[in-house]
């Protein structure tokens, strides 16, 4: 028969035999994870609704095919870093699109172009 030795919770420091976290902090982390996952699912559904229409796909493809300069860094084409269509107004599928490297667009995130 094995004896569980109490150790401090990684979050609050209280002694626990419940693994790395006490029961209270373990439950709190579970709730946080559920909320993050729910938000992610909602965001994916919203993006699918907004960006899977024919007009957006056509405009995006045109921007990517005619790209010569990244609107964010000013650089030209890069091997292994394809062009993306970057929104001037993030979250608005009808906003102007500009070419950007995938890495530049990812770094910018959901912020407005300056």
Residue-level pLDDT at 113 = 61
> Does residue 24 surpass a pLDDT of 70?
yes
82 is written with which tokens? 């394809």
Give the chain's mean pLDDT: 84
The Cα 106–Cα 114 span in angstroms is 15
Could you tell me the pLDDT band of residue 76, with boundaries at 50, 70 and 90?
A: very high
More confident: 6 or 49? 6
> Does residue 77 surpass a pLDDT of 80?
yes
> Does residue 111 surpass a pLDDT of 80?
no
CA distances from 90 to 2, 11, 97 (A): 56, 36, 10
> Does residue 68 surpass a pLDDT of 90?
yes
Residue-level pLDDT at 114 = 58
Q: CB atoms < 10 A from the CB of 90, how many?
A: 13
């Amino acid at each position: 028969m094995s004896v569980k030795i109490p150790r401090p919770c990684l979050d609050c420091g209280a002694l626990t035999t419940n693994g790395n976290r006490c029961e209270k902090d373990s439950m709190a982390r579970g709730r946080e994870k559920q909320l993050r996952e729910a938000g992610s699912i909602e965001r994916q559904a919203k993006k699918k609704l907004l960006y899977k229409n024919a007009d957006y796909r056509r405009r995006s493809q045109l921007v990517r095919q005619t790209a010569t300069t990244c609107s964010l860094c000013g650089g030209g084409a890069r091997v292994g870093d394809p062009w993306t269509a970057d929104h001037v107004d993030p979250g608005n599928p009808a906003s102007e699109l500009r070419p950007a490297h995938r890495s530049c667009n990812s770094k910018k995130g959901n912020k407005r172009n300056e």
